[in-house]
Structure 1
């Protein structure tokens, strides 16, 4: 995410070497979805560079490779899983959670497979699971079954809230593309662990994005008051303003929970001048 072209010259300087972009992103936000690991496992050298560009409190939510989750569906995946775990090891404490995003076809009948897979992961890693099969959201028995497995392993259920996005028809090319790709599922706001992870998708229009996240501001503030440490990712279809929106969301939560630490001061995207 930190290499998005739309951010260059706005949130990060341009030109900027690739090995410096994460450092600048980390001055805007203190967490990132490591989504590129879904498509290919990076080298240890690359991950070491990520660690070097971020402080020890920075949070990576690192997605498991699609080879493991989508192609092999968590079965006979020991080799690619081992390579992935070895590659992300340099993150150390920055690896906030391993993100197990499952395909929409992975349903209630597959929960025993998920349980066995999660039990086989190293205990040192926190786990966050995102499911997209409708039954987990509409069938109370399926939801309870999944919650029981996750809670027993102190693993979190990651909601991907697209309700604001699908509330009205798309109005831009980016929204039209997302309309065909993003899951349309009921809202879920229940946390299972002390470290909830939320993914929220708004609209290209800022006002509609902000209006749609109001419930999450209250939920996140409530979690903080309970002693939880939530991580919330703010998306829009084009993500062009995502860093600024994430900071705005954080500020709105701080109004309700003043003891929440502020985000860092961003590194200027342009050199400071005397005039």
Structure 2
């Protein structure tokens, strides 16, 4: 039984000297992060396909139990809208091959313009990727959340592929107006989608956005503690990513979420002991 938790990235300026040693070479930052969390969102691949040597470096910095949910490049999902992308997709899957079992899922984050009429295209695209990976999809078109027929259309397309539907829970964030620059920026950019807590597979994935106030973030995720506890008791292996607008305390909050669930499920495997951000001394 294992719960994977993590953040939207493995390096952040505000983490230096707090969660990650400083200075720390770029090729060592994932190793340090992986002592705090056992999963990470692979958002960097949205902007460019990494070369195999980069993927091999990520593998060297993590143990086989670490998990990456690796986002497909925007060229595939946004620029070409899943059309005429076979060569790009094959190149991407080849590039991440050195990660091996660390790839928890290949993640298609689709634009808000992707609606119910596009679901058959998604099914054909995912089927064409082959069975070498698990796949997960994030949609933002309102119809998938407001129209039961649209939701059923999507789940029916994903089920035969054992693909997951990733919810991005921003409901707590949008309950009250922003109070910081980071929150104001997120207010303008993050999607406003209704809460969805259903799992399609035995490996559900959740993205949760709280507030810059840690206690409000913790208060807001309590329903997810219940849901994740239930998933674990059903034999599922969930992955939960904790976001805040500034992400300043995200690694600590991810561990706190794990602690909250482990208090309910004591047999849950513990997270690793973090690598100290400052050198140990004799005094």
Q: Could you tell me which of 150, 154, 161 is aligned with 1:142?
A: 150
Q: CA separation in 1, counterparts of 2:213 and 2:239?
A: 23
Report runs of 4+ in structure 1 exceeding 4 Å deviation.
none
Contact 2:140–2:193 under 8 Å retained in 1: yes
Match of 1:25 in 2: 33
What SS does the corresponding residue of 1:80 show, helix, strand or coil?
Answer: helix
Matches within 5 A, 1:106-185: 106-185=114-193
Q: Over aligned residues, Cα RMSD in angstroms? A: 0.5
Pairwise CA distance, 1:152 = 1.4
TM-superposition CA deviations, 1:229-258 (whole Å, max 9, x none)? 000000000101000000000000001111
SS of 1:178's partner is helix
Q: What residue number does 1:240 align with?
A: 248
* One of 12, 29, 33 as aligned partner of 1:4: 12
* Pairing 1:254–2:267 present: no
What secondary structure, in the 3-state scheme, does the structure 2 residue paired with 1:184 have? coil
Q: CA offset at residue 87 of structure 1?
A: 0.8
- Structure 2 residue 78 is matched with structure 1 residue 70: yes
Q: TM-score, normalised by structure 2?
A: 0.96
Matches within 5 A, 1:33-48: 33-48=41-56
Point out where structure 2 has 5 or more consecutive residues left out of the alignment: 1-8
Q: Could you tell me the TM-score, scaled by structure 1's length?
A: 0.99
Could you tell me how far apart the structure 2 residues matched to 1:122 and 1:261 are? Answer: 32
Alpha-carbon distance between aligned partners in 2 of 1:152 and 1:176, rounded to the nearest angstrom: 40
Q: How many residues align?
A: 275
Cα deviation for residue 153 of structure 1 reads 0.9
Question: Partners in 2 of 1:154 and 1:161 — Cα distance?
Answer: 22
Q: C-alpha displacement at 1:81, in angstroms?
A: 1.0
Matched residue of 2:195: which SS?
coil
Show the counterpart of 2:281.
Answer: 273
- Counterparts of 1:258 and 1:135, CA distance in 2: 39
Please list, as runs of the form range in 1=range in 2, the aligned pairs for 1:158-237 lying within 5 A after superposition.
Answer: 158-237=166-245
Which residue pairs with 1:263 in the alignment?
Answer: 271
User: 3-state SS of the aligned residue for 1:163?
Assistant: coil
Shift of 1:80: 1.5
Per-residue deviation, 1:29: 0.2
Is the Cα contact below 8 Å between 2:164 and 2:199 reproduced in 1?
yes
Q: Report if the CA contact (8 A) 2:55-2:96 is conserved.
A: yes
Q: Decide whether the 8 Å contact of 2:89 with 2:129 is kept in 1.
A: no
**3-state SS of paired residue (1:46):** helix
